[in-house]
Amino acid sequence: MKVYERGMRMEWQKELKNCITNAEELCDKLELPAEEREKYEKIISKFPMMITPYYFSLIDVNDPDDPIAKMCIPSEAELLQEGSFDTSGEGENTKWEGVQHKYTQTALILSTNVCAMYCRHCFRKRLVGLSDAELNKKVDEAAAYVKEHPEVTNVLITGGDALMNPNAIISRYLSEFTEIENLDFIRFGSRVPVTFPQRIYEDNELLDLFEKYASVKPIYVVTQFNHPREITPESIRAVKELQSRGIQVRNQSVLLKGVNDDPNVLGELLRGLTRLEVVPYYIFQCRPVTGVKGHFQVPLRKGVKIVDEAKALQNGLGKSVRYVMSHPRGKIEILGESEADKMLFKFHQNKYPADRSKIFITDIKDDATWLDYELNPV
């Protein structure tokens, strides 16, 4: 293992200082008139902006409907008040500071509120770049909770972006959790391979850490590629570096209007991921989050057709992806249309074990994008 000097700044840390974080920089970069600044300032004061120079370089600035721009450049639609900030019951599932325990086998740890990029469609808009009130600040206490719950067989360390934690914190999580007998594996939730791949391939200290602990317990990085144009030489390099150190990389996409709500685009994404040995396991229905609901959600009826057509373009591995929604009741698989006005769903994970694996049919209007909280499976 290499020896690193304390306090030495790596290239990726210097690059973070070049991120676009304010309206003035954004307008300069997009060559927008100064009058536009006020509009962006208003949005950014509510929901922060951070765009890495790398991710910005993926934007086609000549395309007003560019899908990459939609995911990183603030939109006035974020100021609409509809929706809510906690659409899947995260508050009620928080059992310890920063530790959520909704499904029997899985504990989720909010490790940071920092991301390399603040995705405009984020479902934790209530906290990214903002409050740290919901975060776990004591790794040992999170580990103690997991040890005291032997039914927990895996942890998801997330945020914000788990790989935006300093290496010293990541090391603490790894050293504590790889020692816990009841854990089968550890997952890190991170969009860094997509938005800031340099943070991985320029940081041998991080890669050495992963390699060291992957020999003790399986480690996964669960990332979020949403568009085939995010699969670049840089993001491929980040994924390959992780894989070469024994880390398994998996993908969860979000179905987003104007980004990937086209079977050919989604199909190309799934194929690109399987080619990279990154198994795509979920396509999430975008949640009705305040600031997101109005402009990113795709109706369920349309969504299921898009996903089915995209899956038809895949081999068996690509077809294994599931179209799901993270509902307060559990993770619900969206199976398809059953008869006129009705759709078929199945609980993939359930907060209430008695309802586990239940299949149900319910009325769904053409423009419906979510299921009511009080749904009653039959």
Backbone region of residue 7 per phi and psi (left: phi > 0; alpha: psi in -120 to 50; beta: other values): left
Answer yes or no: are the C-beta atoms of 345 and 313 closer than 8 Å: no
Answer yes or no: are the C-beta atoms of 223 and 249 closer than 8 Å: yes
Q: Which is nearer to ligand SF4, 121 or 351 (CB)?
A: 121
What is the DSSP code string of 113-181?
A: S--SS--TT-TTTTTTTT--TTS---HHHHHHHHHH-TT--EEEEESS-GGGS-HHHHHHHHHHHTT-T
Binding status of residue 324 toward ligand SF4 by CB under 6 A: no
Q: Which range binds ligand SF4 by CB under 6 A, 28-36, 82-90, 156-164, 270-278?
A: 156-164
Smallest distance from the beta carbon of 339 to ligand SF4, in angstroms?
36
Smallest distance from the beta carbon of 254 to ligand SF4, in angstroms?
8
Binding status of residue 43 toward ligand SF4 by CB under 6 A: no
Binding status of residue 287 toward ligand SF4 by CB under 6 A: no
Please identify which residue in 16, 49, 115, 256 interacts with ligand SF4, judged by CB under 6 A: 115
Going by C-alpha positions, the residue among 286, 269, 284, 190 that lies closest to residue 226 is 269
Contact partners, residue 374, CB within 8 Å, separation at least 6: none
Smallest distance from the beta carbon of 116 to ligand SF4, in angstroms?
7
Please identify which residue in 122, 283, 292, 298 interacts with ligand SF4, judged by CB under 6 A: 122
Which tokens go with 283? 């396509």
Binding status of residue 227 toward ligand SF4 by CB under 6 A: no
What is the residue whose two structure tokens read 């009058």? Answer: 35
Q: Which is nearer to ligand SF4, 166 or 353 (CB)?
A: 166
Secondary structure letter of residue 354 according to DSSP: G
Going by C-alpha positions, the residue among 118, 71, 114 that lies closest to residue 229 is 71
The total of other beta-carbon atoms located within 10 Å of residue 63's CB is 10
Smallest distance from the beta carbon of 2 to ligand SF4, in angstroms?
28
User: Which residues in 164-203 contact ligand SF4 (CB under 6 A)?
Assistant: 191
Please identify which residue in 16, 99, 128, 289 interacts with ligand SF4, judged by CB under 6 A: 128
Binding status of residue 124 toward ligand SF4 by CB under 6 A: yes
Binding status of residue 55 toward ligand SF4 by CB under 6 A: no
What is the binding site for ligand SF4 (CB under 6 A)? 115, 118-119, 122, 124, 128, 159-161, 191
